[in-house]
Amino acid sequence: MTAGDATGTLDDGRSAWETTYRVRFDEAGPDGLLRTSGFMRYAQDLAWQHSADLGFGRAWYAERALTWLVRAAELVIDAAPEMGTVLSARTAIVGIRRVFARRRGEFHLADGTSAGWVHTDWVLIDARGALTRIPAIFPEVFGGAELMAPVGRIPLPPTPPDAVHRSFTVRPHELDPMDHANNAVYLDWIEESLAAAGDVALTGVERTRLPRRYRMEFALAVEAGAELDGAAWRDGDGWAYRLTGASDGIDRFRARVTMGAAAATRGEEDG
């Protein structure tokens, strides 16, 4: 495939969508580099473009009272694109298992080197909010019906006493068309907490410390106006992050972040 806003076919026969993104002024931070959440936003946009191009747009889901929700994601950043950089981007389904599908998004620089990739585990729910089996037409159209590992889980120990806490409220501009906090926003929340915890690796020129790996589990959707508590603490060779309801203490989101050599050693599932 070549970039150009098109659905094509990979060598193994799976459908894939490919396009390009130019890192805009508003997508870059004070250091001039694409914010981490930008990769997740691109991945979401790729998924919807691919789906809509094959006839599965928002209207199709609304007619059937079906909704996709993200349950887990793993993002690896290999390069720090500057404002104005053009990235080639591609997405494809890499596995379907009863009620969830895994997408892979890949991002490359002009010379073909990797800027990063993301695996996103989506679950399908019905009008009641219950998990529902993925229709047979999906593996027929998108491919990716091979066996795969379960949805990613991020087990965390109890939040330690020395964790750095940050309390905040979900703001309207952080909501997406599903009327809950967009999944990319959680990466902004993570990095705000790590900055508050004193991790200089995520600020200024130190943000070029690569690769960086974010493993995330979205336990419960977060609605507008929700009051939250984000706790960050050192965890082995990286950081742990837990997001809970400020009043009930129930986990909404869990994540682990590693950088440098620790982020580069994960196994063969990276592809």
Q: How far is CA 166 from CA 46, 190, 193, 241, in A?
A: 32, 10, 6, 11
pLDDT at site 248 = 96
Q: What is the CA radius of gyration of the chain?
A: 18
pLDDT at site 12 = 77
Q: Return residue ranges of the chain for CATH 3.10.129.10.
A: 1-151, 153-265
* pLDDT band (50, 70, 90) for residue 269: very low
> What architecture is the 1-151 domain classified under in CATH?
Roll (3.10)
Q: Is the dihedral of CA 41, 42, 47, 51 positive or negative?
A: positive
Beta strand extents in 3-113 (DSSP E only): 6-9, 15-22, 67-77, 86-97, 100-108
Torsion of CA 242, 176, 152, 238, to 10 degrees: -40
Q: CATH homologous superfamily for 153-265?
A: Hotdog Thioesterase (3.10.129.10)
pLDDT tens digit string along 188-199? 999 999 888 876
Rounded Cα distance between 197 and 178, Å, is 31
Residue type, 9: T
pTM confidence score: 0.90
Rounded Cα distance between 37 and 101, Å, is 21
